[in-house]
Structure 1
Amino acid sequence: MGRKPLKEGRTVICAINYNRRALRRYKIAAGRKSQKRGQRLTIVLCAILFLVEYDHSVQCIYLLWGHVVGYLSILVASMAIEIAVCVVAMRGSILDTGKRTSMQYILYLRLTVMLIEAGWLSAGIAWLVNYYTDCPIDTAKETLLGMVIFNWCILLSVLITVWCTYDSAGRSWVKMKQYQRSMRESESKFQYKRSGSTRNWRQRKVLRAYQDSWHNRCRFLFCCSAAKDRNSNSFADIARLLSDFFRDLDVVPSDVIVGLVLLRKFQKIEQKAIVEQRKNDTYEFLSGVAVTPRTQFLSLHEDGIDLELFQTVIHYANFAVRAYGWPVYIITNSMGVCHLCTGLRCCCCLPCRKPSGADPEIVEDNCCQCNYAALSKLIDYGDIEIIYATYHVDVGQTPFFVALDYDRKKIVISIRGTLSMQDILTDLNAEGEPLPLDPPRDDWLGHKGMVQAAQYILEKLDQGQLVERAKAHKPERGTKDFDIVIVGHSLGAGTASILGILLRQRHPTLLSYCYSPPGGLLSAPAVEYTKEFTVSVVVGKDVVPRIGLHQMETLRTDLINAIKRSVDPKWKTISCSVLCCGCSQPTSAVELSTGERDVTEYMRSKENARHMGIHPSDSTIALTSHQPLYPPGRIIHIVRHHPTSGQQALNKKDPVYQALWASNIDFDEVLISPVMIQDHMPDRVLEALNKVRSHLSHSSLPDAPIYTIEDDMD
C-alpha cells in the first residue's frame, strides 16, 4: 500500500500510514502461518471440546472448559480477520491503493486480537501453574500444555519479525517530506528561496535514523559473528549502503516478486522486438547476449587460437571448485562420502592419524580434516601437490590454499568463494575503495570487502613465505622456476583478481583465472590493467557478475518502473507466472507487446529513469548513485543456444553450450531468469565449461552458430 497524501497537523497519523507496509510485512511473514495454525488449532480445540467429558462440578475442569471455549472464539475471530485481509488485499493493482484503504484498520484489529490472544495464553499458563498436577483430566491438560508452548513460540516469532521489518525511521521520513513540501509552497508563494542548511540537517537526521535501523538489523541477523571491531565496522558500512538503497522504496516482498515477474517478461519482449527490427544487426539473443556480426566466438576447433587457453581455463576451474572443501565435493559426487572416508585423519571410532613430516600445513580444518580430504582429490586432475591450506574465515579473511601443479609448472593460489556468514558480510561490504598500490592511484577502485580479503591473503603469503616455500619445495623438479597462477570462484574470483594486481609488481608473469566474478569489483582503469593477465568466466545469466552497486541501482529503477506499469492485482500476476495455471499474460505485458511503438516508448522511459536518477513515482526523491565497477580481465561468456522447434521434433532438446568473448560493460543489467542463481554455482560453471568442450568433440560444426530468430529460453 502506498503513502497517503500528507496534510498539515497530521504528522503522527502520516507516520503510521507510512508504516502500513511494515504491518503488511508482518502479515506476509506471519499471516499464512497464522492462518494454517488457526485451522489446525480449531480442529484440535473442537476435538477437545466435544470429545472430552467435562465434569463442571470440579473447578479446575470448569476453568479448563472455559479456557478452551474462549480460545476457540479467538481463533474463529482470527480466521475471519484473515479472510478479510485476503479479500481486501486482492483488490486493485499495486499502486492503486484506494481500493485497499481499509487494510490498515483490519491489521490494527488483527493486532488487537493478537494481544487478546497473548493475554488468554497467559491465563492458560496460570491454569497450568495452579491445576496441572492435580486436575483429573489428563488428555485435555496435556493438549493445553502443548498448545500454550506452541503458540507462545509463534507469537515470539511474530514479534521478532515485526522488530526486524518495522521501519522505525518512517516517521522521520514523513516529517521531512512534509517539511520539504511546505518549503516549496512557501517559495512558490513568496517568490524566494530559503537556505538549504535546515533542509540538509533534516535529511542528515533521517539518513542517520535509517542507518541506525539497518545497523541494528545487521547485528541481529549476524548475531553469531564474534563482536570484533572489524565486524562492527563492516556492519556500519553495510548499514550505510542498505539504508541508501532501501530508504526510498515503499514496497513489500510480494511487490518485488511482481516486479521481477513483469521485468522478466518485459526483457523478453524487448529482446524479441530488437531481433525483429530491420534497422539493427542483431541476429538473436543467447543467454541474454545480443549476437551481432561483431560477436567473437572462441576459436576452439583443433587448430583454433583459443583452444589451449580454454583447456587451461577448464583445468584451473577444478582448483577453484576444490577450494570449497567437503560440502561442494559431496554435492558434486554421488559417492563423495565414501571417497572422503578413505582420506580422513580421524573418526569417531578410530584413533586420530598423526600427520607425517611430508604432509602439507593445514590451518583450522575440522577435527577429521574433511576439507583437506576433499582437497587432496585434486590429484585426479594431474600431478598436483598441496603445500599449504588455511580454512580460517572471518570478515575480510577468506580461506585459500597453495599447490604445485607439476604438469603445467605453476604455483597455484586458489581462493574460496562465499560459504559462510562471514563471507556474506565480506560480499555486502561493496563500497568502492582505492587499491593499496605503491605509488597510489586514486582512480583504481575495488570492492572494499574483497580488497580487505586480498590484503589478508597477501599478508599470509608474506608472513609464511608461502611462495618461496613452494619454489624451494622440490628444486629437482624445477619448482624454483614455476610461475604463479591465482584462481577463485565468486568471492574468491574477485579476491584473486585484486590479489593479482597487488602481486604482479613482484611477479610480472603472474596469471589469474576468475570464475563467476562479482560485477561491482574494479573501476575501469583497473579493469584495463587486468586484461593483461586475467581471464574471467561467466555462465549464462549468472546474476553475480551483474549485481554491483551500480547495477543494483539500475535494477531498483527498473523494478519500480515495472511495478508502476502493473495494472493487474498482485495475485493474478504471481499466479499467472506459474505455467500450470494456464491463464493469460499480465495486461501490462500484453499492452507492451502489441506494437513496436509501445516497446520503443518503454525502452525510452526506462533509459530516462536510469539516467535521471529520479524515483519514478516521486520526483522529489533523488535515488542514490555509485560509480560503476566492472568484472575483471578478458571475459569468456558461456551461452546456451536452445534448439529450434524443428530440432526439438528430432529429439534435440538439450541446449548447445558455446563460448564467446564478452565486454566488461556487457554485464550492466540484471537478467531475470529461473537459472540466474544456478548459473553461479561452482559445479555448474565447471559443467558448462565441459559441455562446451564435449560439444566440440562430437560436432564438426564451425565455431559460430547458425542464427535463428528464437526467444531466449533461459
Structure 2
Amino acid sequence: MPALILFKRRWNVGGDDLVFPAIGSASVRLIFLASAIAVFVIQHPTIRQCKQGDLLAGFLIGLVILLTITVALEIVIGVVSGQGTITDTYPRRFLPALLYVRALVFLAEIASSLVGAVWVFRDWELQSDQSCDVSLVRLVQAALIFSWFLLIAIAICVLILFGGKHRHENEQFDDFDRWEKRCRRCCFCVKKDENSQVAYAEAAAVFSSLFQNLDVVLSDIVAGLILVQVEQARRIQDRISMTAACKDPGPDVALPTEPVERSLETIWHYYQYSMASNGWPILVNADLKCWLCKLCCMGRCCSCFRPSDHIAGDNCCQCNTMAVRSIARADEEDLLYVSFKNKIFQSPFIVVLDHTYKSVVIAIRGTLSFRDMLTDVSADAERLDIEDHEIYAHRGIVNNSKYILNKLSELNLLEDAFHQYPDYKLVVSGHSLGAGVAAVLSILLREKYPEIKAYAFSPPGGLINAEGVLYSQSFVTAVVLGEDIVPRMSMCTLKQLRDQLIEVIKSCPVPKYRVIMRGLWYTCRGLPETLPLSVNEMDHEDGLCCNPREPLLPANPREAEQRLLDSPAEEEHRHREENGDAHDGEIETIAVDVDNGAASSSNGRLSSVSSRKEFMPLFPPGQMIWITRREIHSGGCCGSNNEYCAHWVTHRQFDHIGVRPGMIKDHLPVDINQAFAWLVDRVKNGHVVHPDC
C-alpha cells in the first residue's frame, strides 16, 4: 500500500508484496546458477571440440553472469520490499529503480536464451555435429527449456498484475467505471443475456461504494483480515464488545416461546429439498462412495432426444434430476417441475410433492455460478408490491423471485398441484442465495397462500428491511450455522469490517510479510490461547500489532480511511504538517461536489474525498435459529468431534462479521446437514439441545 506504480501505470500489487516472489525466484535461480557452473566446469573440454563451440561457451558464460546478477538483484529487491510497514512506504522508495534495472536484466535474459536456442536448435542440428557430446547438448537444451519456462512464467505474472492507467495527481478518476470493467473481466466466460448490463452496473455500484478511491491491493486486505481476526479474538478474551452500531439497529423481533427441539426434525426434512436443488454436485459431495452408483441406477441416456415438459435445462443423462430424486427420495411422478436453467436473476429451482408432510415444496438452488454471483452483488433495495406494507428487499433476489413467480404462474404449477391435493400446504425452501429467494418468494405468495411456510438456510444478511422482517416472522424461519459469514454480510457490516481493516492496517508497525506468515501459522495451528497484551510484545513474539487497550475503530472512522485515500503528495504534505514543517498560513479549502463524486480544493488540486452511494439497511428474514458448535477433543488419532446447540436468537446476533476460520466452512450445505443430523438424533433420544455450547 499504496499500489506499486511503474512505467506510469498502476499495478495490482504493492511494493511490499515482492518479498516472497523475489526470494523464491532467487532460490530457484541460485540452483540453476550452480547447475550452469557445474556444466561449464565439467564439460569445458567437450565444449572446445564442438563446432560453434565459442558460441556455446559464450552462451554458458553469459548465462552464469546473468544468473549471478539476477540472483543478487532479486535478493536486494526482496530485502527492500520487506522494509517499512504496510502504510509507511518511505523505506521502499528505491524499489521502482531496482525494478527498472530488473526489467533491463529480463531483456538481457531473453537475448541470452535466443543465443542458446540458435546454437542448440539450428547450428548443432544443421551441421550434424558428431564431435559434440550428446549429453552436453541435452543439458544445454534442458537449461534453455527451463530458462524459457521461467521467462514465460514471469511474463504471465506481469500480464496478470498489470492494472489500468496510473491516476495522476490532477486527473479525475471514475471509480464506478473501473469496477464495472473489472466485473466484466471477471465474468468474461458468462454468456451475455438481457440482464447482464443491469447486473454489472449494480455490482459496480456496490464495490465502488465499499472501496471507492481506497488505495489498497489484495494482499493488504488479506493482512488486514488476519489482524482483525486477532483483534476480535482478543476482544472476546477480554469480553469487550466488537460491534459498532449501524444507523438502523434493525427490527426488535420477539423470540418464539416454542422450544426449538420441536421444529428441528421438520426443518431438517425440508432442508433435504434445498440440498437436492443443487443437483449432482451436492450428491457427489455428500456421498463420495456411492454417488456414481446412485446416478447410474436411476439415470437414463439420451434424454435430450426425448425432452420432458417438466424438466428443463438438465443434461442429456438427466444427472441433476436423478440427484434430486436420490437426495429428496422422491418418485419421478412427484417431480412437478425441475429447472436447471441458470441466467442472471434466474436461479434453478424444483417443485416437488412431499407426501410425508403433505406439502408442495418449492426449493431454490444457491450460488453455484458466476451468474448467481452477479445476482448476489446486486444489493440495492427494491420495494415489494405488498399492500399496506412498505417492504424493501435485495434487488437481485427480488428479480430472481419474480422470475420464479412468473414461471409458476405461466405453467399453472401450484393451482394444478392443489387441485389434485387440496389438503396439502405450500412450503418454500432454499440455501444461501436460494434462501433469500425462498423468503422473498414466500412474501410474494402469502396473499394467495396464507398458510405458506418458508425455511431459509444461511440466508443473505442484507435481504429485507426491518418492516419486512417483522412481516415475515410468522411464516419464515431462518437457520444459521456457527460463524457463517453470509447471514452476517450486509452493506452496513461490510463497511464496519472495511473500517476495521483500515484502522488495523494503519496502526500496524511491522511489515506485511510478517503478518501473512503469522496468519499462515495460525491457519495451521490455530490462535494462541494467550494473546499478546502490548504492541512491543506482539512485535517481538507474535508478529502482529494491534493494541487491545485502544479501540479497534477510531473515534472518527473517516480519519482512518483518509490515510489510505491520500495520494503520495498529500501524504507527504500531511506528514510535514504533523511534524510542524508546513508553511505558515497555508490553508487549503476543500469543496465537495456530490454530483460528480469528487472534491476540488482552493489550490486547484483534487482531493480524494468522494461521495458514496447510500444503501438501505437490510437484515436476514423471519425468526432465526442459530446452531452453534463446540469442539470436543477426543485424543488419539481420531482428533476431535463436534457437539451442536440450537436456540432462537434475534437479528442483533448477526450485526457484525466475525473473522473466524469457520466463516466459509459453516456455509457449506454438507456441514449444515451434519449439524442437523446430530441435533435430530439428540432430540429423538430425549436430550435437550438449546443450552449454550
Normalising by structure 2, we get a TM-score of 0.78
- Kindly provide the amino acid, as one letter, of the partner of residue 321 in structure 1: M
Q: CA deviation at 1:671?
A: 0.2
Counterpart for residue 711 of structure 1: none
Alignment partner of 1:143: what SS? Answer: helix
Counterpart for residue 640 of structure 1: 629
**2:19–2:82: 8 Å Cα contact kept in structure 1?**
no
Alignment partner of 1:91: what SS? Answer: coil
- Kindly provide the amino acid, as one letter, of the partner of residue 147 in structure 1: F
Instruction: Give the superposed CA RMSD.
Output: 4.1
1:435 aligns to 2:422 (yes or no): no
- Kindly provide the amino acid, as one letter, of the partner of residue 661 in structure 2: P
Normalising by structure 1, we get a TM-score of 0.76
Q: CA deviation at 1:675?
A: 0.7
- Kindly provide the amino acid, as one letter, of the partner of residue 537 in structure 1: V
Say if 1:123 and 1:667 are closer, same or farther in 2 by CA, change over 3 A: farther
Counterpart for residue 557 of structure 1: 499
1:175 aligns to 2:175 (yes or no): no
1:444 aligns to 2:443 (yes or no): no
**1:486–1:512: 8 Å Cα contact kept in structure 2?**
yes
1:210-255: CA deviation from partner (whole Å, max 9, x where unpaired) = 3333333322222211234522332233233323322333233333
Unaligned runs of 5+ in 1: 5-13, 177-204, 276-281, 286-293, 593-597, 707-714
Partners of 1:20 and 1:589 lie apart in 2 by 33
- Kindly provide the amino acid, as one letter, of the partner of residue 213 in structure 2: D
Counterpart for residue 458 of structure 2: 516
Say if 1:234 and 1:697 are closer, same or farther in 2 by CA, change over 3 A: same
Partners of 1:549 and 1:29 lie apart in 2 by 34
Counterpart for residue 38 of structure 1: 29
Partners of 1:575 and 1:554 lie apart in 2 by 25
Alignment partner of 1:675: what SS? Answer: coil
User: Out of 260, 263, 270, which is 1:309 matched to?
Assistant: 263
Say if 1:315 and 1:20 are closer, same or farther in 2 by CA, change over 3 A: closer
Partners of 1:154 and 1:343 lie apart in 2 by 46
User: Out of 308, 313, 316, which is 1:367 matched to?
Assistant: 316
Counterpart for residue 513 of structure 2: 571
- Kindly provide the amino acid, as one letter, of the partner of residue 400 in structure 1: F
- Kindly provide the amino acid, as one letter, of the partner of residue 405 in structure 2: L
Counterpart for residue 220 of structure 1: 185
Alignment of 1:307-706 (within 5 A): 307-346=261-300, 352=302, 361-380=310-329, 385-427=334-376, 429-437=377-385, 444-472=391-419, 475=420, 479-577=421-519, 578-579=521-522, 585=532, 587-588=534-535, 599=548, 601-602=550-551, 605-606=553-554, 608-609=556-557, 615=562, 621=609, 624=612, 625-641=614-630, 654-697=641-684, 700=687, 703-705=690-692
Partners of 2:215 and 2:534 lie apart in 1 by 23
Alignment partner of 1:342: what SS? Answer: helix
Say if 1:92 and 1:57 are closer, same or farther in 2 by CA, change over 3 A: same
Q: CA deviation at 1:672?
A: 0.7
Alignment partner of 2:167: what SS? Answer: helix
Partners of 1:488 and 1:424 lie apart in 2 by 16
1:112-164: CA deviation from partner (whole Å, max 9, x where unpaired) = 3334334444556666774474264551464256336524531442232123x
Counterpart for residue 147 of structure 1: 146
**1:378–1:384: 8 Å Cα contact kept in structure 2?**
no
Partners of 2:13 and 2:109 lie apart in 1 by 21
Partners of 1:394 and 1:44 lie apart in 2 by 54
**2:229–2:658: 8 Å Cα contact kept in structure 1?**
yes
Counterpart for residue 98 of structure 1: 90
Say if 1:653 and 1:354 are closer, same or farther in 2 by CA, change over 3 A: closer
Unaligned runs of 5+ in 2: 244-251, 540-546, 567-607
1:593-618: CA deviation from partner (whole Å, max 9, x where unpaired) = xxxxx757415x446428x8954655
Alignment partner of 1:513: what SS? Answer: strand
- Kindly provide the amino acid, as one letter, of the partner of residue 687 in structure 1: Q
Say if 1:125 and 1:394 are closer, same or farther in 2 by CA, change over 3 A: farther
Partners of 2:314 and 2:332 lie apart in 1 by 24
Partners of 1:626 and 1:433 lie apart in 2 by 7
Q: CA deviation at 1:305?
A: 4.0
Counterpart for residue 189 of structure 1: none
Partners of 2:498 and 2:549 lie apart in 1 by 21
Counterpart for residue 161 of structure 2: 162
- Kindly provide the amino acid, as one letter, of the partner of residue 210 in structure 2: F
- Kindly provide the amino acid, as one letter, of the partner of residue 668 in structure 1: D
Counterpart for residue 595 of structure 1: none
Say if 1:65 and 1:329 are closer, same or farther in 2 by CA, change over 3 A: farther
- Kindly provide the amino acid, as one letter, of the partner of residue 63 in structure 1: L
1:306-363: CA deviation from partner (whole Å, max 9, x where unpaired) = 33322221111111111111112111113233433433535xxxx6479999x88221
Higher relative contact order (CA 8 A, sep 6+): 2
Partners of 1:606 and 1:269 lie apart in 2 by 17
Say if 1:229 and 1:69 are closer, same or farther in 2 by CA, change over 3 A: farther
Say if 1:318 and 1:105 are closer, same or farther in 2 by CA, change over 3 A: same
Alignment partner of 2:191: what SS? Answer: coil
Partners of 2:411 and 2:486 lie apart in 1 by 32
Moved more, 322-331 or 214-223: 214-223
Q: CA deviation at 1:420?
A: 1.6
Q: CA deviation at 1:101?
A: 2.3
- Kindly provide the amino acid, as one letter, of the partner of residue 412 in structure 1: V
- Kindly provide the amino acid, as one letter, of the partner of residue 626 in structure 1: F
Alignment partner of 2:658: what SS? Answer: coil
1:387-412: CA deviation from partner (whole Å, max 9, x where unpaired) = 21111112222111110001111111
**2:14–2:217: 8 Å Cα contact kept in structure 1?**
no
Moved more, 388-397 or 692-701: 692-701
Partners of 2:253 and 2:85 lie apart in 1 by 42
Partners of 1:589 and 1:673 lie apart in 2 by 25
1:258 aligns to 2:218 (yes or no): no
1:156-212: CA deviation from partner (whole Å, max 9, x where unpaired) = 42232123xx242x424x326xxxxxxxxxxxxxxxxxxxxxxxxxxxx42x2x333
Counterpart for residue 588 of structure 2: none
Partners of 1:60 and 1:248 lie apart in 2 by 58
Say if 1:34 and 1:119 are closer, same or farther in 2 by CA, change over 3 A: same
Alignment partner of 1:660: what SS? Answer: strand
Moved more, 241-250 or 494-503: 241-250
Partners of 1:648 and 1:298 lie apart in 2 by 39
Q: CA deviation at 1:259?
A: 1.6
Counterpart for residue 181 of structure 1: none
Say if 1:672 and 1:128 are closer, same or farther in 2 by CA, change over 3 A: same
Moved more, 614-623 or 528-537: 614-623
Alignment partner of 2:229: what SS? Answer: helix
Say if 1:112 and 1:22 are closer, same or farther in 2 by CA, change over 3 A: farther
**1:614–1:622: 8 Å Cα contact kept in structure 2?**
no
Say if 1:61 and 1:409 are closer, same or farther in 2 by CA, change over 3 A: farther
Alignment partner of 1:238: what SS? Answer: helix
Alignment partner of 2:648: what SS? Answer: strand
Say if 1:155 and 1:468 are closer, same or farther in 2 by CA, change over 3 A: same
Counterpart for residue 68 of structure 2: 76
Counterpart for residue 579 of structure 2: none
Partners of 2:200 and 2:115 lie apart in 1 by 41
